[in-house]
């Protein structure tokens, strides 16, 4: 976005590579590439910040609770910001999600500065009155800059605003235009993203300028509400700010001079309120810079103040920023790529995708108002349905300790609420999407880290009990808590015509397929624990995917494409949903979004897409679809006719499915075509919402030449976009390296190229498959060497274990 800075980064890296490794072109793979010590410089936080990406580009720690950023009046301001300069800035708020849908979440406690409103009582305090455009650069983009842990903007009223963050506290720096005589600071208590604040409190201290307050706000994607509190202190930078010269509470556009409490002026039907302060300016000839330290808590104003005082006692903007960036560099630097012969944009796309995989969920430990516990508390699971496929398997590779804390937090939620979280934001349950999709997340953790679980303080017993609650106990409101368990156990699918109290008559086919995968994850945990009986029981339930397979339904105009996942009634007969339903070819132009009157059975995907969805048993799917040739024909039909949905998670595995037909080259090409078509480093660089990092982690895997199946010990293998990649895993203190011998660059449109894997060795020994790697490869710090070729027709290999596992072929044991 901010062109000059991007160019600086580019020059730095060009120099770095040519200075350190001599030549950018054909460096031999024998030399260790220079370590990327400042991966944060390769992160472009503005990717996906306009036209529906809803990405948060402001300042946060990895999984930080406080995500401080600019809010705009864009209709797509789900993360506050919009990269389109036609939208006005409305405030700089403290909490955000990233890449979500629903109603605009969070965006609480906006701070605003007035450089020159003529008179205190005439300051335009309401959100609509105060907003201003940003400065616009010659290329039409706004004068905004962002890097991990830092955001800055120049507004058209000549205010400059910079933001950085600790975990629960933001630090803002407001630089006023030279000669500002009456710098004023506004604290907005009520205007979250939905303008939903009620039960507002606000008091200000005229002696210190401290403003504290809070309100009750609406949840984003469900019926609940949550309380949030703030504590704001101001300090001059480079001068002594002294106490305010004017102060008062404000209501809509009316600041009332001399008031200290919003209760003195509050009218319940006018719900915009906050505090306004005028400070003495910096000495003449120097610029007035005011720091605002903004503590946040979901418990109380006292705790918000305590958080601020503990986390940022010194108001030192540069220190907070540097600490934050160092934390990001430590995390991102665990994955190293060799950039030799690879365009800078590819490395930027990779590290930006990795970065976005660590925004959510957020670490709200100590801020859970619902119960006291010494366990970690994470929130902003928005939603597990989106993230379970790729985000957590990516964490397995390089961030296991945070992963273990998230798992502990989920188990603690189950202990207190009865069911694991599925969709959740700001402590409120949101509508479920597929069922209980924390199951494959816990499964992913336990199947891979069962030997380390105890030392990471994850109780295997509690983990398993939490899974069993999802699988066996009918919740009072499955629409918020998980699954339609009783019918699932009785019928072995979710029927279209029985929906239980509290639920909604929606997405029955999709839920059947997700419930089956949830049970697959449980079966893998049971087997890992040595519980043979439960392993068999839940494997059997995983097979329920195929109970909604109707072999008679045919794709219109394609009699050779026969058999589809379809809605089924409780009496066993099938209803019919057109295979094209809610695709771009749907004659009815339906969407398959969450909607209580949506009776078609499908969620964010057409029947023909969901007919590819049984990730734990693709071998069985392939048989049902008529064998290898017709399976490939069907996949090609889906891609060549634009049925594939790059924005919706059930499609994520599809480009890699050719692996199961022993045609890994076709997967390599499809996955690379998907990256070329749908992902780039621009503000428009995402096909849709980032979905709390679901798309970021998905793109990261594709660029790494890997694709995971959660709750298993395998990763599907293709070729990375870099001549070598490595993962440092703190749980094992080991580094795994994947080297592509004969790396010759990446085809720009993803088609063809010298990118197909013809041979794999691990630590110099021939490997059993060219199509997948076992988890062991990643735990003991192996060196994986790939031989590349231009032959797209290569297979997975000739050995008995060359094909990736599937449940029906005896896999995963
Ligand atoms: C920015 O938004 C305006 C609508 O406010 C729209 O007309 C314009 O096309 C958008 N610009 C870009 C570059 O997307
Ligand atoms: C920005 O604010 C100005 C002034 O209030 C208004 O005229 C304009 O329509 C706003 N822009 C958008 C995109 O709403
Ligand atoms: C804003 O203006 C300052 C100079 O006043 C400049 O250093 C900075 O690069 C500009 N842009 C951003 C996004 O901060
Ligand atoms: C405030 O400053 C801005 C930018 O310098 C200017 O456009 C505007 O007219 C000023 N307003 C007042 C009330 O002085
Ligand atoms: C600030 O005030 C000084 C002295 O009054 C004047 O010389 C200078 O032009 C002013 N600067 C701006 C940006 O208004
Ligand atoms: C947590 O403990 C504190 C201190 O004992 C108590 O004031 C608070 O009410 C407790 N919170 C809950 C939700 O039980
Ligand atoms: C596990 O708990 C122990 C004792 O409370 C603590 O010392 C240790 O740091 C914890 N380990 C992790 C990974 O959280
Ligand atoms: C099965 O149930 C559906 C929907 O309730 C009904 O329309 C259909 O007639 C039933 N079929 C049989 C064979 O009972
Ligand atoms: C059968 O499917 C149609 C089309 O989606 C739907 O309108 C109807 O309600 C379904 N029948 C039952 C009994 O659910
Ligand atoms: C991790 O491995 C490195 C060598 O690869 C070794 O120097 C270091 O001591 C190990 N750390 C721990 C905690 O075992
Ligand atoms: C793969 O490479 C290894 C090491 O060079 C070699 O021993 C093995 O024969 C190769 N396998 C195939 C199928 O070419
Ligand atoms: C791959 O197979 C196709 C048809 O089966 C053939 O046309 C093509 O030439 C083959 N490619 C290579 C590199 O052998």
Tens of pLDDT, residue by residue over 545-583, are 999 999 999 999 999 999 999 999 999 999 999 999 999
User: Which residue has the least CA distance to atom 1 on ligand 8?
Assistant: 571
Exposure string over 665-674, b if 16+ CB within 10 A, otherwise e: bbbbbbbbbb
Could you say which DSSP state residue 375 is in?
A: S
Q: Does residue 634 carry a pLDDT above 90? A: yes
User: Which residue has the least CA distance to atom 14 on ligand 8?
Assistant: 571
By the 8 A CB rule, do 254 and 280 touch?
Answer: no
Residues 6 or more apart from 249 whose CB is under 8 A from it? 202, 204, 255, 256, 259, 260, 261, 262, 264, 265, 266, 273, 274, 275, 276
Using one digit for the tens of pLDDT, what is the confidence trace for 124-153? 999 999 999 999 999 999 999 999 999 999
Residue 116 near ligand 4, beta carbon < 6 Å: yes
Residue 330 near ligand 12, beta carbon < 6 Å: no
Q: How confident is the model at residue 737 (pLDDT cuts 50, 70, 90)?
A: very high
Using one digit for the tens of pLDDT, what is the confidence trace for 293-314? 999 999 999 999 999 999 999 9
Residue 594 pLDDT: 80
Residue 266 pLDDT: 74
Q: Which atom of ligand 1 is nearest to the CA of 50?
A: 14
Using one digit for the tens of pLDDT, what is the confidence trace for 328-385? 999 999 999 999 999 999 999 999 999 999 999 999 999 999 999 999 999 999 999 9
Q: How confident is the model at residue 502 (pLDDT cuts 50, 70, 90)?
A: low
Q: Does residue 11 carry a pLDDT above 70? A: no
Q: Does residue 501 carry a pLDDT above 80? A: no
Mutate to test the pocket of ligand 2, among 131, 134, 135 (most ligand atoms within 8 A of CB): 131
Q: Residue 556: is it exposed, middle or buried by C-beta count within 10 angstroms (0-12/13-18/19+)?
A: exposed
Alpha-carbon distance of 569 to 167, in angstroms, equals 49
Residue 791 near ligand 12, beta carbon < 6 Å: yes
User: Which residue has the least CA distance to atom 1 on ligand 9?
Assistant: 575
Alpha-carbon distance of 134 to 142, in angstroms, equals 6
Using one digit for the tens of pLDDT, what is the confidence trace for 587-632? 999 888 887 667 789 999 999 999 999 999 999 999 999 999 999 9
Residue 31 pLDDT: 55
Q: Residue 39: is it exposed, middle or buried by C-beta count within 10 angstroms (0-12/13-18/19+)?
A: buried
Q: Does residue 180 carry a pLDDT above 70? A: yes
CA of residue 785 to ligand 10 center, whole Å: 24
Q: What angle do CA 298, 301, 303 make, to 5 degrees?
A: 70
Residue 453 near ligand 7, beta carbon < 6 Å: no
Using one digit for the tens of pLDDT, what is the confidence trace for 101-110? 999 999 999 9
Q: What mean pLDDT do residues 482-507 have?
A: 89
User: Which residue has the least CA distance to atom 5 on ligand 4?
Assistant: 157
CA of residue 733 to ligand 10 center, whole Å: 6
Residue 598 near ligand 9, beta carbon < 6 Å: no
Q: How confident is the model at residue 14 (pLDDT cuts 50, 70, 90)?
A: very low
Percentage of residues in the chain with pLDDT exceeding 70? 95
- Block residue for tokens 């307050």: 213
CA of residue 639 to ligand 9 center, whole Å: 28
Residue 596 pLDDT: 62
User: Which residue has the least CA distance to atom 9 on ligand 7?
Assistant: 456
Residue 461 near ligand 6, beta carbon < 6 Å: no
Residue 505 pLDDT: 77
Residue 3 pLDDT: 26
User: Which residue has the least CA distance to atom 8 on ligand 12?
Assistant: 793
- Name residues contacting ligand 3 (CB within 6 A): 2, 143-145, 152-154, 160
Q: What mean pLDDT do residues 515-535 have?
A: 98
Q: Which atom of ligand 6 is nearest to the CA of 371?
A: 13
Instruction: Record the pTM.
Output: 0.95
Mutate to test the pocket of ligand 7, among 457, 730, 731 (most ligand atoms within 8 A of CB): 457
By the 8 A CB rule, do 166 and 320 touch?
Answer: yes
Q: Which atom of ligand 12 is nearest to the CA of 791?
A: 13
Q: Enumerate the H helices of 178-311 as residue ranges.
A: 301-311
Q: How confident is the model at residue 504 (pLDDT cuts 50, 70, 90)?
A: confident
Alpha-carbon distance of 281 to 261, in angstroms, equals 25
ω into 383 cis (within 30 of 0) = yes
Q: Does residue 469 carry a pLDDT above 50? A: yes
Residue 416 near ligand 6, beta carbon < 6 Å: no
Residue 6 pLDDT: 26
Q: Does residue 245 carry a pLDDT above 90? A: yes
User: Which residue has the least CA distance to atom 14 on ligand 6?
Assistant: 371
Using one digit for the tens of pLDDT, what is the confidence trace for 520-529? 999 999 999 9
Q: Which residues pair with 290 in a beta bridge?
A: 174, 236
Q: Does residue 211 carry a pLDDT above 60? A: yes
CA of residue 182 to ligand 5 center, whole Å: 15
How many other CB atoms are there within 10 angstroms of residue 244's CB atom? 22
By the 8 A CB rule, do 614 and 637 touch?
Answer: no
Percentage of residues in the chain with pLDDT exceeding 90? 91
Mutate to test the pocket of ligand 9, among 498, 564, 567 (most ligand atoms within 8 A of CB): 567
């Amino acid at each position: 976005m901010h062109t000059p800075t991007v160019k600086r980064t580019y020059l730095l890296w060009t120099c770095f590579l040519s200075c350190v490794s001599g030549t950018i072109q054909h460096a031999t793979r024998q030399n260790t590439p220079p370590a990327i010590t400042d991966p944060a410089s390769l992160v472009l936080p503005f990717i996906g910040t306009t036209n529906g990406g809803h990405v948060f580009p402001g300042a946060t720690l990895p999984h930080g609770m406080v995500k401080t950023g600019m809010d705009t009046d864009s209709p797509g301001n789900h993360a506050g910001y919009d990269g389109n300069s036609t939208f006005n800035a409305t405030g700089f708020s403290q909490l955000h999600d990233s890449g979500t849908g629903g109603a605009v979440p969070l965006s609480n406690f906006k701070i605003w500065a007035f450089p020159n409103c003529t008179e205190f009582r005439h300051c335009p305090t309401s959100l609509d009155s105060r907003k201003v455009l940003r400065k616009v650069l010659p290329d039409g983009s706004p004068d905004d800059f962002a890097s991990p842990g830092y955001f800055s903007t120049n507004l058209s009223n000549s205010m400059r605003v910079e933001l950085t963050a600790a975990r629960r506290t933001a630090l803002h720096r407001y630089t006023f235009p030279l000669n500002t005589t009456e710098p004023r600071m506004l604290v907005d208590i009520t205007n979250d993203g939905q303008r939903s604040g009620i039960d507002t409190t606000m008091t200000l201290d005229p002696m210190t300028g401290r403003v504290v307050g809070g309100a009750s706000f609406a949840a984003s994607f469900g019926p609940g509400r949550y309380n949030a509190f703030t504590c704001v202190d101001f300090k001059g930078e480079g001068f002594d700010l002294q106490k305010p010269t004017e102060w008062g509470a404000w209501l809509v556009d009316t600041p009332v001079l001399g008031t200290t409490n919003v209760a003195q002026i509050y009218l319940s039907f006018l719900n915009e309120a906050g505090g306004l302060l005028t400070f003495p300016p910096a000495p003449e000839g120097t610029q007035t810079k005011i720091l605002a330290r903004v503590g946040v808590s979901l418990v109380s104003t006292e705790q918000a103040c305590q958080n601020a005082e503990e986390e940022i006692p010194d108001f030192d903007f540069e220190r907070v920023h540097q600490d934050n960036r160092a934390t990001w560099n430590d995390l991102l630097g665990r994955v190293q790529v060799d950039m030799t012969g690879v365009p800078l944009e590819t490395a930027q796309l990779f590290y930006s995708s990795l970065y976005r995989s660590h925004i959510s969920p957020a670490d709200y430990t100590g801020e859970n108002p619902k119960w006291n516990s010494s366990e970690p508390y994470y929130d902003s699971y928005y939603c597990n349905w989106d993230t379970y496929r790729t985000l957590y398997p990516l964490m397995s590779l390089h961030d296991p300790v945070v992963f273990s804390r998230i798992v502990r937090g989920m188990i603690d939620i189950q202990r207190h609420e009865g069911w694991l979280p599925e969709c959740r934001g700001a402590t409120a349950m949101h509508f479920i999407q597929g069922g209980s999709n924390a199951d494959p997340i816990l499964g992913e953790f336990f199947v891979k880290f069962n030997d380390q679980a105890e030392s990471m303080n994850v109780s295997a017993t509690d983990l398993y009990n939490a899974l069993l609650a999802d699988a066996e106990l009918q919740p009072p409101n499955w629409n918020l808590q998980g699954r339609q368990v009783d019918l699932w156990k009785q019928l072995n699918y979710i029927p279209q015509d029985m929906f239980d109290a509290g639920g909604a008559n929606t997405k029955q086919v999709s839920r059947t397929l997700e419930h089956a995968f949830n049970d697959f994850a449980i079966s893998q945990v049971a087997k890992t624990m040595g519980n043979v009986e439960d392993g068999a029981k839940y494997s059997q339930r995983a097979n329920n995917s195929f109970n909604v397979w109707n072999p008679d339904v045919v794709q219109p105009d394609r009699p050779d494409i026969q058999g589809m996942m379809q809605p089924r009634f409780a009496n066993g007969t099938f209803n019919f949903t057109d295979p094209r339903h809610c695709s771009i070819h749907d004659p009815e132009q339906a969407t398959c979004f969450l909607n209580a009157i949506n009776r078609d059975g499908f969620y964010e995907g057409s029947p023909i897409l969901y007919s590819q969805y049984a990730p734990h048993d693709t071998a069985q799917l392939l048989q049902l679809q008529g064998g290898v040739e017709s399976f490939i024909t069907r996949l090609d039909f889906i891609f060549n006719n634009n049925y594939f949905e790059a924005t919706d998670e059930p499609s994520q595995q599809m480009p890699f499915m050719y692996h199961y037909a022993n045609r890994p080259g076709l997967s390599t090409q499809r996955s690379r075509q998907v990256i070329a078509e749908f992902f780039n480093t621009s503000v428009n660089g995402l096909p849709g919402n980032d979905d709390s990092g679901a798309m970021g982690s998905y793109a990261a895997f594709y660029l790494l030449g890997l694709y995971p199946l959660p709750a298993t010990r395998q990763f599907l293998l293709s070729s990375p976009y870099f001549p070598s990649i490595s993962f440092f895993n703190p749980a094992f203190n080991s580094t795994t390296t994947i080297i592509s011998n004969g790396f010759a660059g990446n085809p720009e449109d993803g088609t063809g190229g010298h990118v197909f894997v013809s041979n794999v060795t691990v630590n110099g020994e021939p490997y059993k498959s060219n199509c997948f790697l076992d988890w062991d490869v990643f735990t003991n710090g192996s060196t994986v060497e790939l031989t590349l070729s231009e032959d797209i027709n290569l297979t997975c290999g000739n050995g008995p274990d060359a094909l990736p596992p599937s449940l029906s072929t005896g896999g995963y044991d």
